[in-house]
Structures are given as C-alpha cells and as structure tokens.
Amino acid sequence: MQEDKSVYKKDIVVNNFQKIKIYILNNPLSHVSFWLVIFICFVSIFASIVSPYSPNDSVGIPLLKPSWDQSGSLNYFLGTDSYGRDVFTRIITGIQLTYGYSICVVLISIIVGVFLGVISGMTRGLKSSVINHFLDPILSMPSILIAIIIVIIVGPGEFNVLFAIGLSLIPQFIRNIRTITKAELNKNYVTAAKLDGEKNWGLFKNSLLPNLLVPIINEFTRGMTITIIDISALGFLGLGAQPPSSELGCMIGSSIQFTYIAPWLIIIPGITLSICIFSTNFLSNSIINALNEGIE
C-alpha cells in the first residue's frame, strides 16, 4: 500500500456541540458532573415514583437517626425529622422542587430574555436606547437582592419567589443575548444574508438562531446555578417555600433548631443542595471551556 506523503493536512471541522461532547468525555470532572445532572433531572421527573413514602406524612419515630447509626433503621435510610417524616423521601421531593422549579423558572425567563435581547440587538435608535437605560439600574443590583425586594412587596410563598427570581433573571438574559446578537450581526455570514435580501425574520431564523443556540445553552446553565442558590436562600430565610414544604432551603431553615441533637436534618439537605449547585456549575463551566478552547 502506497503511503500518503502529502504535506497538506485535512482540516477537521468540529461544530460547537461536538466540542462540548469531546470536552466532557475527556475531562473526568466534567464527565461526572454531566451524569450527576442527568441523575438529578431523572429524580426531579420521577420523584413521586421512586419516593418510598409521602413527604409530609409521619411514618416513623421522630428524630430517628440515619440507618448507618446503631439506633437507625433501614426502613428510614436517612432517618426521620422532628415530625417522624422520612428524610430520604423529603430529599427526593426536595430535589424535584428545588431543581424542577429552577428549570421551569430559567426556561421561561430565557425565552423572554432571548426574545427581547434579539429585538434589542437587531434594532437601533430609540427602542435600543430605552431598553439599555431600563436595564442599567437593574443590572447594578444582585439578582437575589432584586428577588428579595419583589418578595417583600408581593409576600412570601413558592409561587411569589419563583415569579421574583424569574423577573430578576430576565434583564441579565436580555443584556447578554443582546451583546451576542450585536456581535453576530457584524460577521460576514450575516452581511452575506442581508445582501441576498433576507428580512429580519429570515435573518433571525436562518442565520442568527443557529449561532445563538450554544450561547443560549450557556446562559441557561448559568441561570440554573443562580436560580438554585436563590430559591434555596429565600426558602432558608422564610421568604420562599413555607413549612411543611420539602424544598431543600426550607428544610435546612426549619431544622436549624435541631443542629446539635439531629445534625443530619441540616447536613443531608446541605450536601444534596451542594451537589446540585456544583454539578450544574461544573457542567456550565465545561460547556464554556469547550467552546473557548481550540480542539483539533
């Protein structure tokens, strides 16, 4: 067989999603984070099926220790709380509430943010100026502070806190998508599409949207991390989900008084919450690194 002695190398075109896949497969931490997020999503969807008990029913002795303690029971793997409710069941439903709520909030917020961000990025003059002046003072404050202000106005509760966090996220999505849209509009492929007679809708659908998909994924994963923290923090402060809700932040906040006699009521939800936050954050960073890193 004759050896190919060509001095030219074939360029291998790797699209953005292939970059993400390659990066995750070759990075152990990213790989673990990916499967943790998949597992968390699975639990969020099928919590009612995999939960052994009802989260708000008293099913055992109050403050029963986890099963690895001599006084614990395998029937209540992670022990029970002060009302005799199964902690394992409440952790599962807590993941469903905290993570599931976060997905819903970020999904709705990013749809609104992308819509307004693209409009702002594609327009000039008064419309773009009004949006900029409206966003500037809002973006100068942390999202959780905005959410707290809104919750104080409308009152505590699960729906109100989700509404507040969603409103606090939208301006961030608008600004970031607007910036990306303006950058894309200056590229050659958009200029070529304009010369071919593409109108705004066709330009968005055929040229901009395919190139905005990956930045949108980045914004979604970043928003997930922020939302999980905000929902849990407000639940912990008593401004979000209220007892007997099994939302993770609410569980930690309502168990503070048992810190010394039943520390598992704080440690276990805290570890679960940390896993949700860090796995989502690591996956988000992996996506960003994959897109910024040159892969041959």
pLDDT tens per residue across span 111-141:
999 888 888 888 776 666 677 667 767 777 7
Helix (H), strand (E) at residue 110 = helix 87-122
**DSSP structure class, residue 54:** -
Flag whether the pTM goes above 0.85: no
Read off the tokens for 147: 């959410």
Helix (H), strand (E) at residue 90 = helix 87-122
The confidence score (pLDDT) of residue 270 equals 94
Point out the least confidently predicted range of 8-22, 104-118, 168-182, 196-210: 8-22
Asked if residue 4 has pLDDT above 60, the reply is no
Helices (H), 27-86: 28-45, 47-50
The CB-based long-range contact list for 54-58 (8 Å cut-off, 24+ gap) reads 54/89, 55/85, 55/86, 55/89, 55/90, 55/92, 55/93, 55/246, 56/85, 56/244, 56/246, 57/85, 58/83, 58/84, 58/85
Alpha carbons 131 and 113: distance in angstroms, whole number: 12
**DSSP structure class, residue 257:** G
pLDDT tens for each residue of 245-283: 899 999 999 999 998 999 999 999 999 999 999 999 898
Ordered by where they begin, the domains of the chain are 23-293 (1.10.3720.10)
The confidence score (pLDDT) of residue 7 equals 52
Asked if residue 168 has pLDDT above 80, the reply is yes
- pLDDT tier for residue 2 given thresholds of 50, 70 and 90: low
What are the b/e assignments for 129-148, b being 16+ CB within 10 Å?
eebeeebeebeeeebbebbb
How much is the mean pLDDT over the chain? 84
**pLDDT over 90 for what percent of the chain?**
31
